[in-house]
C-alpha cells in the first residue's frame, strides 16, 4: 500500500510539475483540484474493479449496518463453553458447517478434543443451546498479551446441528 501510494504521489507530482512548466505557477489551484478529483476517481474505479474481480456487489448503506450489527451481536453474545466443566472457553468470531474460530483468554493445545456448547442469541428451530464436539486445529497468540484466536473443527456434526448452524449463518 505504501509503495503504491508513493508511486501515485510521484505520478501526480510529475503531472503537476509538467503543468506548471507549461502554464506557469498560476495553474496551482487547478492542479490541486485536479489531483484531488483524480484521487476520488481512482478510489471509485479501484473499488469497482476489486468488487468486479471477485464477482461481488457493493453493499448499500442499510445492508452494511445490518450485517455489521449482526456480526457484532454474534461475537458479543455467542460464548462457547466447556460442557464438562461449565467454564467459558471463548467468544465466537466466525462459524461455518465445517468449524469455527474463537477469541480466547488462554491458549489451548492443538488436536485437543472438547465437548462444547453455546447458547444461541435467539431460539433456532426451537433450540436455545447447541451442543457439539470439536477438535482444536490451531491456536495463535495475538498482538495483545493474553489474547488468542483458535480454530476448531466440528467432529461428527449431526444433521440437526448442521441445520441450526446454517440458520445461524443466514441470520447473523
Q: What is the pLDDT of residues 42-94, one digit of tens each?
A: 788 887 888 788 787 777 777 767 666 666 665 556 899 999 999 999 999 98
Q: What is the mean pLDDT of residues 146-158?
A: 94
Q: Is 116 exposed, middle or buried (0-12, 13-18, 19+ CB in 10 A)?
A: buried
Cell of 80: 462457547
Q: Which residue has the higher pLDDT, 16 or 77?
A: 16
Structural domains in the chain, CATH included, are 2-53 (no CATH), 76-171 (2.40.10.220)
Q: Is the dihedral of CA 148, 151, 74, 133 positive or negative?
A: negative
d(CA 147, CA 105): 5
DSSP structure string for 84-104 = TT--EEEEEEEE-SSEEEEEE
Confidence at residue 155, expressed as pLDDT on a 0 to 100 scale? 94
The radius of gyration of the chain from alpha carbons, rounded to an integer in Å, stands at 25
pTM over 0.75, yes/no: no
Q: How many CB atoms lie within 10 A of CB 6?
A: 10
Q: Which residue has the higher pLDDT, 109 or 62?
A: 109
Q: Residue 102: beta bridge partners?
A: 92, 150
| Nearest in space to 145 (alpha carbons), one of 114, 107, 112 | 107
Q: Is the dihedral of CA 61, 66, 67, 68 positive or negative?
A: positive
For a pLDDT cut of 70, what percent of the chain falls above it?
Answer: 89
Instruction: Categorise residue 146: left if φ over 0, alpha if ψ from -120 to 50, beta otherwise.
Output: left
Average pLDDT taken over every residue of the chain: 85
Amino acid at each position: 500500500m505504501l509503495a503504491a501510494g508513493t508511486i501515485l504521489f510521484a505520478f501526480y507530482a510529475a503531472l503537476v510539475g509538467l503543468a506548471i512548466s507549461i502554464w506557469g505557477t498560476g495553474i496551482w489551484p487547478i492542479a490541486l483540484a485536479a489531483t484531488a478529483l483524480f484521487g476520488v476517481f481512482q478510489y471509485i474505479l479501484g473499488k469497482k474493479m476489486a468488487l468486479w474481480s471477485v464477482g461481488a456487489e457493493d453493499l448499500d448503506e442499510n445492508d452494511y449496518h445490518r450485517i455489521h450489527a449482526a456480526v457484532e451481536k454474534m461475537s458479543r453474545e455467542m460464548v462457547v463453553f466447556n460442557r464438562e466443566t461449565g467454564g467459558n472457553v471463548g467468544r465466537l468470531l466466525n462459524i461455518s458447517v465445517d468449524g469455527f474460530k474463537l477469541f480466547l483468554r488462554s491458549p489451548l493445545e492443538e488436536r485437543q478434543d472438547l465437548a462444547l456448547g453455546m447458547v444461541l442469541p435467539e431460539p433456532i428451530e426451537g433450540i436455545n443451546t447447541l451442543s457439539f464436539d470439536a477438535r482444536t486445529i490451531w491456536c495463535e497468540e495475538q498482538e495483545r498479551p493474553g489474547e488468542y484466536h483458535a480454530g476448531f473443527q466440528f467432529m461428527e456434526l449431526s444433521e440437526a446441528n448442521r441445520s441450526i448452524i446454517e440458520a445461524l449463518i443466514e441470520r447473523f
